[in-house]
Structure 1
Amino acid sequence: MLLRKANVLDGALALLEAEGLDGFTTRKLGAALGVRASALYRHYPDKRALLDAMADRILEEVSVDLPDGSWDERGTVLAGRLRQALLSHRDGARVVAGAYSAEPNTVQFGNTAVEILRSAGLPPEQAGWATTAVSHYVLGHTIEEQSRADLAARGTWTGKMDAFNDLEDQVAATAFDADPAERFAYGLRLILNGIRHELAQVRTASSAGS
């Protein structure tokens, strides 16, 4: 059997779905593809390179054909697409988090986000920082969403919530068991409001210097 790079990546994502990130090994992937694990290294030199490629595949459609609109409308769509892409793969957020991949889809996502913010008036450095802040929010939120789903699948989520409620924990009462999509949208609005404040300061400084 001729092992193609695309077959390795498809197999890796299928294994991720079956085993989760904690159970993902190149040995298991090789077995699933009917080859020795060492055969994978013809296409990916190590597990990190394979995970980077998986992260890039997860981001494949996120930046494609964004609708027209204001910077915040486009940013909201982009962040929402990122969340949905991460949620569409088991442990997708954990795979993408910390990848720092230079693969094309990952680079396109970052460049698209930065360009949205630069076109709104943020200087390049601040646009990069703001993109990082939003990306970290989406990743962190989605990691928690997927962890909650995993706990629910194991049947342990209800017990954890009961323990929090016994302690009258206000975070648990108002946030942990709320609709994740609503909490995500609320947190994203907070961040976008912060970016609006930054834009207003940039415009004020520009007017004062002219």
Structure 2
Amino acid sequence: MKSAVALLEDEGEQGFSIRKVGSRVGCDPMAVLYHFKSKAGLEQAMADALNAELTPVDATAPWRARLSALASQYRALALRYPRTFPLLLRFWVTGPADYRHAEMIYQALSDAGFEDRQTVDICFGFYASILGLAAAEVGGMLQPATAENLAEARSLPAADFPMTRRLLPAFEAQRPAEIYALMVETVLNGIEQLRDAPTDSRVGG
């Protein structure tokens, strides 16, 4: 599995194939295909291998601390494997390692006071939020604006784009780690606010 991940990190998705994986590990590509059933099966196993690198969160910590700790680990994982990490967004569950982390989230949300339906909805929304944030960072979206980005924004008519022009210094000063932490806190605040809302006003309640 490490060889497949290394290949994807070295060559990117366009250069990744069952044939190249077989060549790298020294076996017939058909043997790889037989074992994983398909390229998607291999990619799912690779995603779960990344999930297996995460450290189990302290089950005795407060529920918010558990979710925050896991979110921090996912960002670190994305930075280690920027080309493989997006695979985590492709599957409902990647495998055994993913189930273990999801179990922790289910328990944390149950401990927070949510019923089963909302526990499931919030868990998947939480995953989509933090995995999407981490993938956006390694994909380039959360990086500070480049000189070319700033020049393009400065060329916009000030009368039509006053806010964009006003925010130019802020675009240049963006820091990915700060954005990630801010949005994780925002998501957790939203979860807590939902928990504390009257039951009949809860979305999906």
TM-score bin, normalised by smaller chain: 0.7 to 0.9
Q: Is the 8 A contact 1:86 1:142 kept in 2?
A: yes
2:153 is aligned to 164
Match runs of 1:55-94 below 5 Å: 55-62=47-54, 64-66=56-58, 68-94=60-86
Matched to 1:86, the amino acid is A
Q: Is the 8 A contact 2:146 2:172 kept in 1?
A: no
Shift, 1:67, TM fit: 6.1
Structure 1 residues 176 and 147: CA distance shift in structure 2, 3 A: farther
Separation in structure 1 between the aligned mates of residue 15 and residue 150 of structure 2, nearest angstrom? 26
1:4 is aligned to none
Question: What is the alpha-carbon root mean square deviation over aligned residues?
Answer: 2.7
Separation in structure 2 between the aligned mates of residue 71 and residue 18 of structure 1, nearest angstrom? 37
Separation in structure 2 between the aligned mates of residue 180 and residue 143 of structure 1, nearest angstrom? 11
- Aligned residue for 1:30, secondary structure, equals helix
- Listed as ranges, the gaps of 5+ residues in structure 1 are 1-8, 206-210
- Aligned residue for 1:99, secondary structure, equals coil
Structure 1 residues 38 and 158: CA distance shift in structure 2, 3 A: farther
Identity of aligned residues (%): 23
Q: Is the 8 A contact 2:133 2:180 kept in 1?
A: yes
Structure 1 residues 40 and 140: CA distance shift in structure 2, 3 A: same
Separation in structure 2 between the aligned mates of residue 30 and residue 24 of structure 1, nearest angstrom? 11
Query: TM-score, normalized by length of structure 1?
Result: 0.80
1:190 is aligned to 186
1:101 corresponds to 2:98? no
1:10-57 per-residue CA deviation (whole Å, 9 max, x = no partner) reads 210110110122321112212222333212123211111110111101
Separation in structure 2 between the aligned mates of residue 49 and residue 137 of structure 1, nearest angstrom? 24
Separation in structure 2 between the aligned mates of residue 61 and residue 141 of structure 1, nearest angstrom? 19
Separation in structure 1 between the aligned mates of residue 47 and residue 101 of structure 2, nearest angstrom? 12
- Aligned residue for 1:41, secondary structure, equals helix
Separation in structure 1 between the aligned mates of residue 170 and residue 27 of structure 2, nearest angstrom? 50
1:181 is aligned to 177
Q: 1:113 aligns with which of 97, 105, 119?
A: 105
- Listed as ranges, the gaps of 5+ residues in structure 2 are none
Matched to 1:18, the amino acid is D
Provide the aligned length of Structure 1 versus Structure 2: 193
Shift, 1:165, TM fit: 4.3
1:144 is aligned to 136
Structure 1 residues 83 and 157: CA distance shift in structure 2, 3 A: same
Query: TM-score, normalized by length of structure 2?
Result: 0.81
1:147-189 per-residue CA deviation (whole Å, 9 max, x = no partner) reads 118x99xxx9542343234336367653575111100111111
